[in-house]
Amino acid sequence: MTSSLQKKIETVAKRAHDAAPLVAKLTTKAKNLILIETADALVARHAEIVRANQKDLKEAQKKKLAPALIDRLTLNAQRIGEISKGLREVAALPDPLGEIVKSWTRPNGLHVQRVRIPLGVIGIIYESRPNVTIDAAGLCLKSGNAVVLRGGSEAIHSNLVLGKILRDVLKKNGVDPNVVQIIDTPDRKAMGFLVRQSRYIDVMIPRGGESLMKWMADHSKIPVIKHDKGVCHVFVDESANPGMAEKIIINAKVQRPGVCNALETLLVHERIARTFLPSMAEKLQEAGVEIRGDDPVRKIVPGAKKAAEKDWGMEYLDLILAVKIVPDLESAIRHIQKYGSLHTETIVTEDKSHAAEFLNRLDSSVVLWNASTRFNDGGQLGLGAEIGISTTKLHAFGPMGLEELTTMKFVVTGTGQIRE
């Protein structure tokens, strides 16, 4: 038996699918115009957005959501301005479509090109923050994809107004508004139906916590690009510049501890531990960081708690840091291979060959030499805006910008060649 909700979700997905060839072939100029007019409309209609957001906030307060969640849910003139600015930045980025990534000629005269095309229809499931509605839709449109958005139920009123504004601009520009679909029901069953639309949706991108990731892995019949946890490491090698290491570690741990590219485990070479670690730990503790160390760490760091086995590989997302002293580079690499999540790893060293070994041996999505883990970010690495940070090796590994929302087709030109 097909429920009416199931039919509804199928219709939403099919509409996006049918509209996808249109958005795929929009000119760059037309797409940029839509992005810029949407940026304008968001500012012009900010009162309408704030009104809808107030409804969500009222509900959230009734449900006694955590203050951090309520903060992420809140839209005000300033935040609407930031979303609007984000769209203008995407408009300014080069169009990834049509790029001839490679081309060559075969001995039989066939000319082969690999040309960038959109993925088709992208489904995005996200939580709380309503800005994702516009950020994600903007990136999908610019990369020529249709998009089906399913935000958190707590942001439903905000998301619907934001979607309406975007669809109004699409209509005004003569573009089928079905290229952007907002799932308008807070019913969680909708998600279950959505991830079964493999006929109409080419890829699902979940953005959220561990339970969403697990749910997606268990239920999705559509290929998923996960945005999973970051157990990021910094290794301070024996030859590290201690001042540089300190700056990097403080930045990686303290600047924004709740994000996936924040530092979670610090590894220190035993030859530098005694001189480096006590003052480093003091600075971290001054910044409010709790240190959880192995026994050698606890001998030289006053106030360090004892790290349990489960502390290695833990994503705290908080002002807590696991610290371990290792005998050499090889042990650091093996520790990261064993406990890491393939997200982000930094080596601080003045030894070029040690850096090369670390950067070569560790196949995490971003590996850094003498720089903060916080640089695993599309904007910071120069991809322009990002849709998130993929922890799936397939298709896109690390920050995903516009290019990562595309695929390539082969375009072959001949003069009547047939296969022998």
Residues in the site for a copy of itself, rule: CB under 8 A? Answer: 21, 24-25, 104, 106, 110, 112, 117-120, 198, 202-203, 217-218, 221, 223-225, 241, 244, 247-248, 250-252, 255, 337, 355, 359-361, 363-372, 374-377, 380-382, 392-395, 397-399, 407-419
> Where does 93-130 have alpha helices with state H?
none
* Phi and psi torsions of 306, nearest 5°: -80, 125
Q: What whole-number distance in Å separates Cα of residue 269 and Cα of residue 250?
A: 18
155 vs 289 by CB, closer to a copy of itself? 289
* 286 exposure class (CB count in 10 Å sphere: 0-12, 13-18, 19+): exposed
Shortest distance in whole angstroms from residue 109 CB to a copy of itself: 9
Nearest to 294 by CA among 257, 321, 256: 321
108 vs 185 by CB, closer to a copy of itself? 108
Name the DSSP class of 308.
P
268: left (phi over 0), alpha (psi -120 to 50) or beta: beta
38 vs 349 by CB, closer to a copy of itself? 349
Amino acid at 89: E
Q: Which residue has the tokens 């087709």?
A: 409
- DSSP, collapsed to helix, strand or coil, labels residue 117 as strand
169 vs 203 by CB, closer to a copy of itself? 203
47 vs 418 by CB, closer to a copy of itself? 418
What's the Cα-to-Cα distance from 354 to each of 199, 238, 346, 361, rounded to whole Å? 49, 10, 12, 11
Shortest distance in whole angstroms from residue 378 CB to a copy of itself: 10
Shortest distance in whole angstroms from residue 105 CB to a copy of itself: 9
Q: What whole-number distance in Å separates Cα of residue 420 and Cα of residue 404?
A: 37
- By residue count, the chain amounts to 420
54 vs 370 by CB, closer to a copy of itself? 370
Q: What whole-number distance in Å separates Cα of residue 15 and Cα of residue 147?
A: 10
Shortest distance in whole angstroms from residue 388 CB to a copy of itself: 15
Shortest distance in whole angstroms from residue 46 CB to a copy of itself: 28
Name the DSSP class of 1.
-
What's the Cα-to-Cα distance from 345 to each of 29, 337, 363, rounded to whole Å? 39, 10, 9
Shortest distance in whole angstroms from residue 377 CB to a copy of itself: 8
160 vs 347 by CB, closer to a copy of itself? 347
Shortest distance in whole angstroms from residue 175 CB to a copy of itself: 17
67 vs 107 by CB, closer to a copy of itself? 107
Shortest distance in whole angstroms from residue 188 CB to a copy of itself: 21
